[in-house]
Structure 1
Amino acid sequence: MKKAGILNRHLAGALAELGHGDGVLVCDAGMPIPDGPRVVDLAFRAGVPTFAEVVDGLLAELVVEGATAATEVRTANPQATALLDGHFPALELVPHERLKELSADARLIVRTGEARPYANVLLRCGVFF
């Protein structure tokens, strides 16, 4: 049994399958989930787990070379904005409708229980060397 890191077996296994350039969408409970990508649904209750908890946990295990979020997060969700700006100085912003389109090409979608709007980010995996 693992003693540290991500303990959810479905999420840990999905992360191990990712490669350079693969997309991982971390999304709030309200984001529409497209058909196609693998989904690990962590939502338990409204607000549990939070967007911040899941993003922080994923960043502890993944190499990320880029991130994309919805432009609307800037005005609608100051907490998510602060988190994203803190982790991704070169954050790319696109309209929310475009982010939904891009999510269809993600390799993995991780749904949180976050109940604040626009708490979504599409991560682009990098390499450790």
Structure 2
Amino acid sequence: MKKIGVLNSDLSAVIADMGHQDWLAVGDAGTPVPKETSKIDLSVKNGLPHFIDVLDTVLIELEVQKIYLAEEIKAANPEILTEVKNRFSDRVIIEFISHEQLKQNLKRSKAFVRTGEMTPYANIILESGVVF
């Protein structure tokens, strides 16, 4: 039995399969997921699990070089924005795009991880880096 990190077998497999510049998205319970994107649904109930808890667990295993956030998060959810920024060093590029563009970009993501988060614009696309 796996002791640490991501215990969900579907999510663990996606992370293990990530290559340089592949995308993995994590988001709130209301995000529409394109049919062509694999959805890993971790939501249990309103607020469970929290977006930040899932992000923290993914970041234990995934090397990230760039993140994409919706521009709208700045005004609509500054608390989550602060939490996200606190998790990345200056070496990680943060790019703000429109929420509509972020939803379109989910088509390019290997998977979308649905959390139980019930706050607006709690969505992120993680671009995989390399560890060397």
Structure 2 length normalisation: TM-score?
0.93
> 2:60 maps to what in 1?
60
Superposed CA offset, 1:55-91 (max 9, x none)? 1111111000100000000111122111122124531
Q: Which residue number corresponds to residue 117 of structure 2?
A: 114
Per-residue CA deviation, residues 17-73 of structure 1 (Å, 9 max, x unaligned), is: 111111011010011001112221101101000010011111111000100000000
Percent identical residues: 40
Superposed CA offset, 1:3-29 (max 9, x none): 111111111112111111110110100
Corresponding position of 2:37: 37
Question: 2:57 corresponds to which letter in structure 1?
Answer: G
Unaligned 5+ segments in structure 2 are: none
- In the alignment, structure 1 segments of 5+ residues that lack a partner are none
* Residues paired across the two proteins, number: 129
What corresponds to 1:101 in structure 2? 104
Contact 1:84 1:91 in 2 (8 A): no
* 1:21 and 1:125 in contact (8 A); partners too: yes
Q: Give the secondary structure class of the aligned counterpart of 1:29.
A: coil
In structure 1, distance between residues paired with 2:35 and 2:102: 15
Contact 1:47 1:114 in 2 (8 A): yes
Q: Secondary structure at the match of 1:13?
A: helix
2:32 alignment partner AA: P
Q: Name segments (4+ residues, structure 1) moved above 2 Å.
A: 87-90
Identify the range of structure 1 (57-66 vs 86-95) with the bigger mean alpha-carbon deviation: 86-95
Of 91, 95, 111 in structure 2, the residue corresponding to residue 92 of structure 1 is 95
Q: Tell me the TM-score normalised to structure 1 length.
A: 0.95
Q: Report the RMSD for the aligned CA atoms in angstroms.
A: 1.1
